[in-house]
A and B are shown apart, each in its own frame.
Chain A
Amino acid sequence: MSEGLTGVHGKFDGLGRFADPSVLILTSLTDGPKHGYAIMTDVAAFSGVSMEPGTLYGALSRLERRGWVRPLATQERRRPYEITAAGQEVLAGQVAAMQQIVRVARQRTATAFGT
């Protein structure tokens, strides 16, 4: 998607809390169920964050336990995950909080630097 962001490989630097793996995974699953590797490539494409498998499965196991994602039946050794209604609610809440931060940050940088 955003090609410009793919340079941010490897680190969460520069994205701060916006690079929280849970938010990235939930966002990735919002447009349909995906298996592990597909989540990794999708997240790398839209955010530039290259998530390692250990991080991915750490986050997936926590999301599953909280009932925010649900495992589907395994297809050829790959297990897809889908976002649950509770997960959508949590993601919406996170996005609203981020939007609030973005809105204030925009206003204040405009006041401070006149951009």
Chain B
Amino acid sequence: MGPPLAARLSRFLVGCYPRRWRQRFAAELLEVLDQHRPTARTVLNLWAGAVSAHLDPAWRAGRHPMIRLRRWARVLAAVAAVLLVFAVGFGFLAWQDEQGNMGPPMPLSDGVFGMAFSPDGRTVAVINPSLELWDVADRAHPKRLGYSEGDIVTGTDPAFSPDGRVLATAGGRTVILWNVADPTPRPTEIAVLPAYPGGVNALAFSPDGRTLASGYDDGEVVLWDAADPARVTRIATLTGQAGDITALAFSPGGHLLASASAGGTVALWDIAGPARITHLATLTLPPPASPAQPGPDVALSFSPDGQLLASANDDGIVVLWNVADPAQPARIATLHPNVPPAGPSGDVALAFSAGGHTLTMIVGSSTVTRFNVTGPGAVTRITTSTLSNIGAGPVAFSPGGRTVAGAPAAGDTLALSPLP
């Protein structure tokens, strides 16, 4: 509320005090308002003051114009007033809905919150802030398949099950599972998992689809038995990391889980048997070049043979570890490709090619860097290129890293960029 408007409203509200009150105080109060800089708070405060003065019998005129009501009539009047306020409020919202001011979808170029490619590369899930599913089989003509009625809002990337039929999204402190096998006109909710103290910050399905991992902003990771998405049960809670869990990745064999935290570590967990989940090792990430940035973003990716684990932070620094013996991981390369950092609304994503010889990274929604991985210890940068059609915000790689999906710089069609 601008000061001139606040000043005008304040003066108007002084006129709303009871007449007898005004006769005594209005001139002084107006004088004080001239010296004071009225704000929205001043306006609210005067409104409350006027109401309370009206309720004060001392300021009532000798003959009060209000009709004296019996107690039951006053109760009825109060109930009717509350119902009227609700009715007017709902009517307003319904009218807004009719005007198209409510409900999804929002134009994608307004910015999206999260994104994920389906394992078959034919569908993209977008948090916008409702859950939208896009058919991207034809890369040149992506098509919106459907969207959820409610909003998801959180900025956590969703996760597809390996068969692409179930999608996990973060709903604040809970995880929501959606049936996305046929998302037209709407994906349907299968289950809402029990809430945890922290907010959900990362999600991943195991390669066999039986286990779902959710990482929280208090450093915990929860493993869920998701074999039956309608009856999910908790298997275990993995603790010990400090700071937000920023990324989760299962190894291709499904025996290992890597969890990255904003505290600058990646923990490796042996999850082969639910009965014996063990912490194998903790890897240290390079410190961010811009330490002032809150909640550094991290991407994790295992090579298809499970021998290598790659991490990238939003400064574009890539680290490769040999995790052939996950109890004794060895850092084999740290790459500083010197790309512009992602920035506060930018994203970082990482993908190994199907053969494992190429690693592709995207930082800040537009800078794509490719590395050649000819063997452990032999990593070279091939190219850095800039995408022009993707706007700011989250991005997602198709499996193998051949296509990037993101919000468009303009318009309402999902932006897809095939990479050479």
Binding site for B on A (CB under 8 A): 10, 35-37, 40, 52-58, 60-61, 65, 74, 77-79
User: Is A36 in contact with B45, judged by CB distance below 8 angstroms?
Assistant: no
**Residues on the A chain within 8 Å of B48, using CB:** 54
Question: Given A37-B36, A52-B41, A65-B58, A58–B49 Cβ distance below 8 Å?
Answer: yes
User: Is A54 in contact with B45, judged by CB distance below 8 angstroms?
Assistant: yes
The B interface, classified by DSSP as helix, strand, loop or mixed, is: helix
User: Is B46 in contact with A37, judged by CB distance below 8 angstroms?
Assistant: no
**Residues on the A chain within 8 Å of B53, using CB:** 58, 61
User: Is B45 in contact with A61, judged by CB distance below 8 angstroms?
Assistant: no
The stretch of B26-34, B298-306, B327-335, B374-382 that contacts the partner chain: B26-34
B70 within 8 A of A: no
Chain B residues 1-39 with CB under 8 Å of chain A are 10, 13, 21, 24-25, 27-29, 31-33, 35-36, 38
| 19 CB < 8 A contacts A-B | A36-B31, A36-B32, A37-B32, A37-B36, A40-B32, A52-B41, A52-B46, A53-B32, A53-B33, A53-B36, A54-B48, A57-B28, A57-B29, A57-B32, A57-B49, A61-B24, A74-B27, A74-B28, A77-B28
Question: Given A35-B28, A55-B49, A79-B28, A61–B33 Cβ distance below 8 Å?
Answer: no
B184 within 8 A of A: no
**Residues on the A chain within 8 Å of B38, using CB:** 53
User: Is A54 in contact with B49, judged by CB distance below 8 angstroms?
Assistant: yes
**Residues on the B chain within 8 Å of A52, using CB:** 41-42, 45-46
Question: Given A37-B31, A40-B36, A57–B42 Cβ distance below 8 Å?
Answer: no
B52 within 8 A of A: yes
User: Is B27 in contact with A36, judged by CB distance below 8 angstroms?
Assistant: no
**Residues on the A chain within 8 Å of B32, using CB:** 36-37, 40, 53, 56-57
Quick one: which of A10, A35, A53, A61 contacts B21, CB cutoff 8 A? A61
**Residues on the B chain within 8 Å of A74, using CB:** 27-28
- Max count, chain A CB within 10 A of own CB: residue among B21, B32, B42: B32
CA distance A77 to B46 in the complex (A): 20
**Residues on the B chain within 8 Å of A55, using CB:** 45, 49
**Residues on the B chain within 8 Å of A58, using CB:** 49, 52-53
Quick one: which of A53, A60, A61 contacts B46, CB cutoff 8 A? A53
Interface residues on B, range: 20 to 34
User: Is A53 in contact with B52, judged by CB distance below 8 angstroms?
Assistant: no
CA distance A77 to B29 in the complex (A): 10
**Residues on the A chain within 8 Å of B50, using CB:** 54
Quick one: which of A10, A37, A54 contacts B35, CB cutoff 8 A? A37
Which of chain A's residues has its CB closest to B58's CB? A65
User: Is A61 in contact with B25, judged by CB distance below 8 angstroms?
Assistant: yes
Which of chain B's residues has its CB closest to A41's CB? B35
Which of chain A's residues has its CB closest to B13's CB? A54
User: Is A57 in contact with B25, judged by CB distance below 8 angstroms?
Assistant: yes
Which of chain B's residues has its CB closest to A59's CB? B49
Distance of B7 from chain A, by nearest CB (Å): 12
**Residues on the A chain within 8 Å of B28, using CB:** 35-36, 57, 74, 77-79
Which of chain A's residues has its CB closest to B35's CB? A37
Distance of B47 from chain A, by nearest CB (Å): 8
CA distance A56 to B42 in the complex (A): 11
CA distance A7 to B129 in the complex (A): 37
CA distance A65 to B27 in the complex (A): 18
Pairs of residues from A and B, 7 with the lowest C-beta to C-beta distance, nearest first: A54-B49, A52-B45, A54-B45, A54-B46, A36-B32, A37-B35, A58-B49
CA distance A58 to B38 in the complex (A): 17
Distance of B3 from chain A, by nearest CB (Å): 14
Distance of B217 from chain A, by nearest CB (Å): 26
Which of chain B's residues has its CB closest to A64's CB? B24
Distance of A6 from chain B, by nearest CB (Å): 16
User: Is A77 in contact with B27, judged by CB distance below 8 angstroms?
Assistant: yes
Distance of A35 from chain B, by nearest CB (Å): 7
